[in-house]
Amino acid sequence: MQYKNQPVFPEKFMWGASSAAWQVEGAVAEDGRTPAIIDLNSKKKKPYADNSIASDHYHHYKEDVKLMADCGFTSYRFSLSWPRIYPSDSAEPNAKGIEFYSNLIDELLKYGIEPIVTLYHYDMPVWVDEKYGGWYDRGIIDAFDRYARTCFEAFGDRVTYWLSINEQNMQICYGKWLGVCKNEETWLHDQWKVNHIMNLCHAKAVVACHELVEGGLIGPVPGYVPIYPASANPDDQIAAMNAEELTEKVWNDLYVHRKYNGFIRSYWNENGIDPDIREGDMELIESAKIDFFALNCYRSNTAKHCGIEDEPQEYLLNKNGVKGQLIFPKVPGLYQLTENPYVETNDWDWEIDPVAMRYMLRYVWDHYRLPMMITENGYGKYDSPAEDGKVHDAERIEFLRDQIYQVGLAIMDGCDVIGYNPWSFTDLLSTGNGMAKRYGLVYINTTDEDVLDLRRIPKDSYYWYSDLIKSNGQNWG
């Protein structure tokens, strides 16, 4: 449907941005925090910086929150660092860790900014990994439950919106890249046991939130990449549906319907996979009724038929920001991904496809009928200050304008969308590209080679976004 007028956003629509503790905080060895596995992995990714300092939000949070307030934010999505809350397998949480997040939440509320808090965003404590083999051992379920309950008890009096596990589907689909996989040779089978344990941890968090937080609302955070068929060939349509199932829908169905769908059960049977579902597991999952979806969406994919006789190909992401290095996956008998001639791509070969945002919101709303908020969506590029000392990022403004417009169209289509929190507020450490690949509305004066002075410089996109927020989505600039 084409609309004659620009979209209208709800009066109490939450406008903000997002971050993750391990990518923005720094201070990895201060005030009792112990290492996370992601800390160790970031140290291996030379020549990029590691996360020991990152954006130094730990020491600049008041300045950062003031910048949010000046921009007009009404929400801020961030994550808690598990090893900052529980630095060891101690019965007591770290008081300094609790204090930091309590102060951050208070600072946000002082300016009328709604905190949206993620419990887990990739920062598995080393002590948890050593004790339980990461997500491989069911002992982590009680450890995660203890951590989640501590967070609800410490912050639930001031935080309404909670997110359980960030991009669980991506941690399984890209388990080797994100460090979840412990044995590549057995990962085909292991991933579904790991996924089941993660589902049980998610369920524990949902149950605990509803038990401990008065009026608390909690949801999952799937990484969402809409998948189109490459052609009108019916085989391509089925391939796109297969890709959707194995990268997204299996997870979303579990969150909402609280049981594994027929597709994944058939897939397990076809491949001799035992996800190790034990007595009482499905009863726990059944009790975990989510309140909304948080959605991370940056791009789209396109799928076509892949014959059973084809050779498998692993998905090899572009890690260097030089166009043409991405290699699409092939999953024989199910699907293969391919280029989409109708959309442009960025330097990392990610599709620039604003319509994917509307497509995703329509799809999730049609399937699940739950409120939705955007918790990640953004444009990564190489930024640096110009001669005038400012950061001019016209491409980011264009990207955000097009994406937010599609959010507005989805709302006009009847979707219940309650907030938009793009990635990211400040520049922060990229998962694969250090400080070089920047997403922020605010430039952090640091590089992979030198820490510099960490000065905050609002980019052109910051001022553009501020005008849009303060007009509640009416001033497009």
Cis peptide before 424 (omega within 30 of 0): yes
Is 30 an annotated catalytic residue? no
Is the distance from CB of 223 to CB of 171 less than 8 angstroms?
no
77: helix, strand or coil:
strand
C-alpha–C-alpha distance, residues 225 and 66, integer Å: 33
Instruction: List phi, psi (to 5°) of 466.
Output: -60, -45
Q: Which H, E and C letters describe 243-254, residue by residue?
A: HHHHHHHHHHHH
Locate the DSSP E strands across 274-421: 293-296, 301-304, 330-331, 335-338, 344-345, 351-352, 372-376, 417-420
C-alpha–C-alpha distance, residues 282 and 135, integer Å: 18
Q: Which residue in 209, 31, 56, 52 sits closest to 119, CA to CA?
A: 209
Q: Position of tokens 């604003």?
A: 354
Is 167 an annotated catalytic residue? yes
Q: What is the DSSP letter of 456?
A: E
The pairing of beta strand 217-221 with beta strand 161-166 = parallel
In order, the DSSP letters of 194-248 are: HHHHHHHHHHHHHHHHHHHSTT-EEEEE-B---EEESSS-HHHHHHHHHHHIIII
Is the distance from CB of 445 to CB of 45 less than 8 angstroms?
no
Q: Which residue in 325, 431, 418 sits closest to 365, CA to CA?
A: 418
Provide the 10 A C-beta neighbour count for residue 134: 19
CA atoms within 13 A on the CB side of 412: 16
Q: Which residue in 432, 422, 408, 446 sits closest to 9, CA to CA?
A: 408
**Active-site pick, 25, 107, 114, 167:** 167
CB neighbours of 154 closer than 8 A, spacing ≥ 6?
A: 93, 98, 101, 102
Q: Which residue in 339, 343, 335 sits closest to 324, CA to CA?
A: 339
The pairing of beta strand 301-304 with beta strand 335-338 = antiparallel
Residue 158, token pair as written in the block: 């001031």
In order, the DSSP letters of 145-193 are: HHHHHHHHHHHTTT--EEEEEETHHHHHHTTTTTT--S-GGGHHHHHHH
Question: Which sequence positions are flagged as catalytic?
Answer: 167, 376
